[in-house]
Homo-oligomer: A and B are copies of this chain.
């Protein structure tokens, strides 16, 4: 193989440049594959390879047909690609589950603390709504865990940092099968889920109380203990501040 640039990279880099220079922005439509192919002097297959990368990374969505919604449209979904990347890296053991959990603890405790001390208060309406749903009926473990993930993500979204939210969503998604498998090892799913719901309320209460340290600690133990309880691989906790000692039980 020569030092010739890979044809698909030529396409990818061209599009990245256009994005950086503002020539392309979310909502814009890329030229058609055949046009890109001719303009960049590469084969249509190479164009498609680059577009596939962009699609999986959440940068574009594609549709057939003609008219304004056809073709490849720039979307730039913040969550795009993060889940796929993390899931695959975990699957291939590039990311250790323990490190995923540790990272999650760092981010989620920071989010909780931020929400606790933010002024003016950020709305936890979405989060509370999810708790209402979770408490309103009996849910299977899978249903519960899906809503649980949404609850955690809703806090990140309330904090307003989309990078953190996307990263957290990706982290959660990457170990979803582990979390699910863990649930089936529990002596009593009913007891655990009931406790988890109480803890969710604790988290919301801690945040609303404005005490960042308590919010941190509540989230921390909530997450850490679910993993301990379900025997997920041990993780090292990275750089969390001293937690407030309390009798806060276990978590997701």
Q: Which residues of A contact B (CB under 8 A)?
A: 1, 8, 12, 16, 19-20, 24-26, 45, 48-50, 52-54, 56-59, 63-64, 74, 76-78, 80-82, 84-89, 91-96, 99-100, 102-103, 106-107, 109-115, 117, 159-164, 166-167, 171, 177, 212-213, 216, 236-241
Contacts and interface: CB of A to CB of B under 8 A. Distances in A.
The winner among A12, A166, A212 for most chain B CB atoms within 10 A is: A166
A74 to B, nearest CB: 6
Given A85-B82, A106-B106, A92 B26 contact: yes
Contact of A88 (B45, B54, B107): B54
Max chain B Cβ within 10 angstroms of own Cβ: one of A8, A20, A45, A161: A161
Contacts of A52: 8, 49-50, 52-53
A63 B77 CA distance: 32
19 contacts: A8-B52, A57-B85, A58-B89, A74-B92, A76-B92, A80-B89, A81-B85, A94-B162, A100-B163, A102-B164, A103-B167, A110-B239, A111-B239, A112-B239, A113-B240, A114-B240, A117-B239, A161-B236, A216-B241
Given A59-B94, A241-B213, A161 B102 contact: yes
